[in-house]
Structure 1
Amino acid sequence: MTDTIDALIRLHAQAQPGKPMVIDPDQQLSYAELDAGTQELAAAFVAAGIGKGARVGLIMPNSVEWVRIAMAITRIGAVLVPLSTLLAAPELGAQLRVASVQYLITVEEFRGHRYLDDLSTVRADLPALRVVWTADQLPSGPGPGGIDAVTAAVTPSDTLAIMFTSGSSGPPKGVIHSHGNALRAVRSGLSARCVDADTRLYLPMPFFWVGGFGSGILTALSAGATLVTEQIPRPETTLRLVERERVTLFRGWPDQAEALARQSGAVGADLSSLRPGSLEALLPAEQRAEPGARAKLLGMTESFGPYCGFRADTDMPRSAWGSCGKPFEGMQLRIVDPDTGEPVPAGTIGMIQLRGPHMMRGICRRSREELFTPDGYYPTGDLGHLDDDGFLFFHGRSDDMFKVSGATVYPSEVEQALRTIDGVDNACVADVSGAVGAIVVGDVTVDQLRAAARDRLSAFKVPTVWLLVASDDDIPRKATGKVDVAKVRALLAAQ
């Protein structure tokens, strides 16, 4: 059974011992080294009192060492709690408290954050916290022979990790995943993401988010692939790393890929190793699809990453262009009326609800009854519709929709219509005191936009507040790359 971290590490260490599992700019770790190194560290953790179910926090930027520590923790059935390197002291204290972290491993400083200093200001409110280690002062102990009995006791149903969401609104949530549900979720999306054993994957996402931990580390581990990572992505260093390590698959943020593409000529990096399925801005023009032809993977922390997609190197049927593809095997999806909770017909926009073995086990300090419907579905808060063939079209967050004269406006529907207008490169829509507002990137006038929008949208959906900007860089975004709706709304209100 390979539905535990320990089983996967042992499998690949035996099958391909010399193959690199993870590479950063300064070091790399083969599957055999990962096995031996994590056994040794895991034995030291056990000797230090960390056992099955113990909750261990980790604050560290992406690196080979992050992977070694995390895998050692999870091999013995302890619960990994990745913590953001961006947290301020009150946020750090809140997450440590919510997750009842007992042991904490942290770097002393990263990008101006001094975590030990921050911890000193909140530790009095952390009764569960027993021990704090810096990353260069980890415990050492007996040899690897002592952990076989411990790892053999770990089952797919045991908790693997508590992942904090990046938080689209409100405080972040500590989402609980088991070994089995997380690894099954990762495996269900390997084909759609074009990942196999020959893949050399670059991913810029931080490992403390499910996009980095699941779509990076556990994706490579599940497929027996190689992961390439770095602490701080910068265009020149990233391009050189991709070139040096002959990366075959570049996944992550489209914005980052576009920025790299703009600078690749000046840097002179050879990106010929990249294959279809990578973000298209970095591929030769002849390998790029028409806009909308390829699926935009849709996922969330609660589903341990993508739950819907289509092969990233393959065009969808024309009727499905602009969609997120289809739900992966093992994921049940339905669309319901946001007010009544009743399923709606195909083609009708409603809230997306999810159910299945890949979903989270729960959320810290929340009961199952608070989270799931009586028949076991999780209301995601996302809006979408299914077409007659089962392709899912995303329409934003339910808390982003708004009313104009009593009628519901879905921002994504207006955005998609505006993007079909000649001269429009991108558009973001938000409510402005009960009116529809739009930020538009492109070479077009407001009069042209208004006239074209009237041909595409009902009158109440046509924006009445407009802001024209020169490039995508003028659209406010969060650290995750998502559009910052609050700042978009503020910019539009200033008009």
Structure 2
Amino acid sequence: MPDVLATARWREPLPLPEPALGELPRRAAALWPDRTALRHGERTLTFGELERATARCAAAVRQAVGTGAVVGAATVLAPVFASLYYGVARSGNTVVTLNPLVRGEALRHVLAASGTRLALLTREMWEKLAPFRDGLPDLATVVVLDCGTQGPPAGTVALEELLAAAPADDGRAERTDPDAVACVHFTSGTTGAPKAVPLTHRNLTVNAAQTAQAQGLDATSVTLNQLPLYHLMHLNSALWAGAAQVLCPDDDAAAAVAAADAYGATHWFSIPVRLARLAADPRLPDLRPRTVRGIFCGGSALPAGPARILSERFGIPVVQGYGLAEASPTVALDLPGRPRPGSCGPVVAGTECRVVGLGTRRVLAPGERGEIQIRGPQLMRGYLGPDGRRDFDEEGWFSTGDVGHLDEDGYLFVADRLGDVFKCDNEIVAPTEVEAVLARHPAVADCVVFGHPDEFSGSVAHALVVLREQGPDGPGSTPERVAEEVNADLAPFQRIQYIDAVPGLPRGPGGKVQRRVLRATALGA
């Protein structure tokens, strides 16, 4: 079998972009100074205005901490994050992205592990962090982004005060090493302790160009970012392409469609949990975005059912991508012009992908399932701290920890996390595939599946389900009946052997289910 079939490398080569992350706003302002860059509610910023805000932020940060420091910034879905993110990068410092949904002890861990000296937080984040303040000796200053008329809480500084104390632009232009670390991102920790991912200027700007090409973004595009927080891929790729961004944190489907129509959105970005809810929304027959050419999602798998419903209803493709923090993050994206159901599409330009056996580590042929490995210019050089390069081999291939396969055309299909799949009767079972069938049952509102140790089979499927208040057969619907009906559509090794009804399923930031935690609780591990 020729190796070309086992290793995917697609899309046309790209010219290398300007390697300094903080220069993306300056480049956009030079090319499209008066075009809209960001819309958020009633506020609009042109690319020229974003560049001036970035310059002021760079001067303010440099005045506060000098250069060579670590600055944490809350990834709020608002224009302020864009100017802070690029401003920190331009100031000669490293930005650590802080998820505003992560608070308290978890936030303290990120700040302590990264050695953050200046933290740019929301008021709510600070209120949850304050009890841990004494345990952060490296943290010199906390800036609150949303003080409003209340003023800054004790021990903090208002963002307006930080900016007012600095010149609009101190005129300094830091020479930027393209291979210097620009940003540190902490993984979600859904399969273990969060790891610190350092991304260079080159990683991020190259991935901006890769993502823009894969999504078909250009200076005529308008993106609707219906997300709970700012994702770097959307921000960087839009700046690279000159696309306008409409920021829509509202998870209401009708509000998203109204925003898309009001501003002529061409690309709709969302997360699977929101799209799944939209597909089940009773208002769906009355909703239809007029200008959107495609709906894009990632972060976790979107079941085929909701994707098909939305695509048929709206008459546009619903495509999924595959990425990870270690790859800045985009690795693959389905082709809107010819999507392949269940696929994450081919890899982005300049990227290689292969699948290796879970035990043998040999490169597998198309259709064979194993661990996904990647290699490309957007890939980090190694984790910070003791983890280092443990997931790289001697040829630079990075083991993602995800299980999937490539088809003969190079389309990538992702099944599950390596730590989540299990073997039943020597067959690999991907919980997300069982969940996709389970979620189609009309009595099931939400679900999760994991492996339950079994003396004879190794492991068998164990499901937790949130049942709707009234199933298709009335209040008599039971978990056992659901399992019996769903098992008829599953392979023998996938069939659910244990099932429990639960009132709800906790999900982490971005809507990911906490499978590892739920499994440990259910099994008493």
Judge same fold: TM > 0.5, yes or no: yes
221, 227, 234: which one aligns with 1:205 = 227
117, 121, 136: which one aligns with 1:126 = 136
Mapping of 1:23-422 within 5 angstroms? 23-51=39-67, 53-59=68-74, 61-109=76-124, 113=125, 115=126, 117-135=127-145, 136=159, 137-141=161-165, 143-144=167-168, 146-150=170-174, 153-207=175-229, 212-235=230-253, 237-260=255-278, 265=283, 271-277=289-295, 285=313, 287-288=315-316, 295-316=319-340, 321-366=341-386, 368-404=388-424, 408-412=428-432, 414=434
Residue 393 of structure 1: how far off its partner (Å): 1.6
Native 8 Å contact 2:354 2:363 kept in 1:
yes
SS of the residue corresponding to residue 251 of structure 1 reads strand
Distance 1:60 1:107, change over 3 A: farther
Amino acid corresponding to residue 219 of structure 1 in structure 2: S
User: Which residue number in structure 2 is paired with residue 464 of structure 1?
Assistant: 497
Residue 396 of structure 1: how far off its partner (Å): 0.4
Structure 2: distance between partners of 1:118 and 1:220: 33
SS of the residue corresponding to residue 298 of structure 1 reads strand
User: Which residue number in structure 1 is paired with residue 515 of structure 2?
Assistant: 485
Native 8 Å contact 1:402 1:409 kept in 2:
yes
User: Which residue number in structure 1 is paired with residue 27 of structure 2?
Assistant: 11
Structure 2: distance between partners of 1:142 and 1:89: 30
Native 8 Å contact 1:352 1:380 kept in 2:
yes
Native 8 Å contact 1:276 1:313 kept in 2:
no
Residue 356 of structure 1: how far off its partner (Å): 1.8
Residue 36 of structure 1: how far off its partner (Å): 1.6
Structure 2: distance between partners of 1:163 and 1:189: 18
Structure 2: distance between partners of 1:286 and 1:7: 38
SS of the residue corresponding to residue 370 of structure 1 reads coil
Deviations 1:384-411 (A, max 9, x none): 1122332222120111122335654333
Residue 91 of structure 1: how far off its partner (Å): 1.3
Distance 1:262 1:339, change over 3 A: closer
Structure 1: distance between partners of 2:140 and 2:498: 54
SS of the residue corresponding to residue 297 of structure 1 reads strand
Native 8 Å contact 1:191 1:311 kept in 2:
no
Residue 244 of structure 1: how far off its partner (Å): 3.1
The Cα RMSD (Å) is 3.6
Structure 1: distance between partners of 2:118 and 2:409: 49
Native 8 Å contact 2:392 2:399 kept in 1:
yes
Native 8 Å contact 1:438 1:465 kept in 2:
yes
Residue 367 of structure 1: how far off its partner (Å): 5.3
What residue ranges of structure 1 are gaps of 5+ in the alignment? none
What residue ranges of structure 2 are gaps of 5+ in the alignment? 1-16, 146-158, 298-306, 455-459, 473-480
Distance 1:231 1:429, change over 3 A: closer
Structure 1: distance between partners of 2:407 and 2:189: 29
SS of the residue corresponding to residue 37 of structure 2 reads strand
Native 8 Å contact 1:247 1:273 kept in 2:
yes
Deviations 1:183-241 (A, max 9, x none): 2123212233232221211223344xxxx332321121111111111455444544443
Structure 2: distance between partners of 1:276 and 1:345: 31
Structure 1: distance between partners of 2:118 and 2:251: 29
Residue 270 of structure 1: how far off its partner (Å): 7.1
Structure 1: distance between partners of 2:144 and 2:113: 22
Structure 2: distance between partners of 1:467 and 1:353: 35
TM superposition score normalised by structure 1:
0.82
Residue 84 of structure 1: how far off its partner (Å): 1.8
Native 8 Å contact 2:197 2:382 kept in 1:
yes
SS of the residue corresponding to residue 296 of structure 1 reads strand
Native 8 Å contact 1:18 1:31 kept in 2:
yes
Considering Cα pairs closer than 8 Å and 6+ residues apart, tell me whether 1 or 2 has the greater RCO: 2
SS of the residue corresponding to residue 61 of structure 1 reads coil
Residue 132 of structure 1: how far off its partner (Å): 2.2
Residue 97 of structure 1: how far off its partner (Å): 1.1
Structure 2: distance between partners of 1:260 and 1:421: 17
Structure 2: distance between partners of 1:82 and 1:258: 27
TM superposition score normalised by structure 2:
0.78
SS of the residue corresponding to residue 18 of structure 1 reads coil
* Larger CA deviation: 92-101 vs 413-422: 413-422
* Larger CA deviation: 190-199 vs 17-26: 190-199
Distance 1:493 1:288, change over 3 A: farther
SS of the residue corresponding to residue 108 of structure 2 reads helix
Distance 1:431 1:387, change over 3 A: same
SS of the residue corresponding to residue 48 of structure 2 reads helix
Distance 1:134 1:413, change over 3 A: closer
Native 8 Å contact 1:249 1:275 kept in 2:
yes
Structure 2: distance between partners of 1:364 and 1:162: 9
Distance 1:244 1:268, change over 3 A: farther
* Larger CA deviation: 173-182 vs 304-313: 304-313
SS of the residue corresponding to residue 189 of structure 1 reads helix
Amino acid corresponding to residue 12 of structure 1 in structure 2: A
Deviations 1:404-442 (A, max 9, x none): 356543334555677899999997542234322356899
Structure 1: distance between partners of 2:283 and 2:26: 42
Deviations 1:340-381 (A, max 9, x none): 433233322111112221102332213534242222222111
Query: Structure 1 vs Structure 2: percent identity of aligned residues?
Result: 25
Native 8 Å contact 1:277 1:313 kept in 2:
no
Distance 1:126 1:493, change over 3 A: closer
SS of the residue corresponding to residue 231 of structure 2 reads helix
Residue 475 of structure 1: how far off its partner (Å): 6.6
1:21 equivalenced with 2:43 (yes/no)? no
* Number of residue pairs aligned between Structure 1 and Structure 2: 467
Structure 2: distance between partners of 1:56 and 1:337: 40
Structure 1: distance between partners of 2:438 and 2:446: 8
* Larger CA deviation: 387-396 vs 264-273: 264-273
Native 8 Å contact 2:191 2:516 kept in 1:
no
Structure 2: distance between partners of 1:264 and 1:244: 22
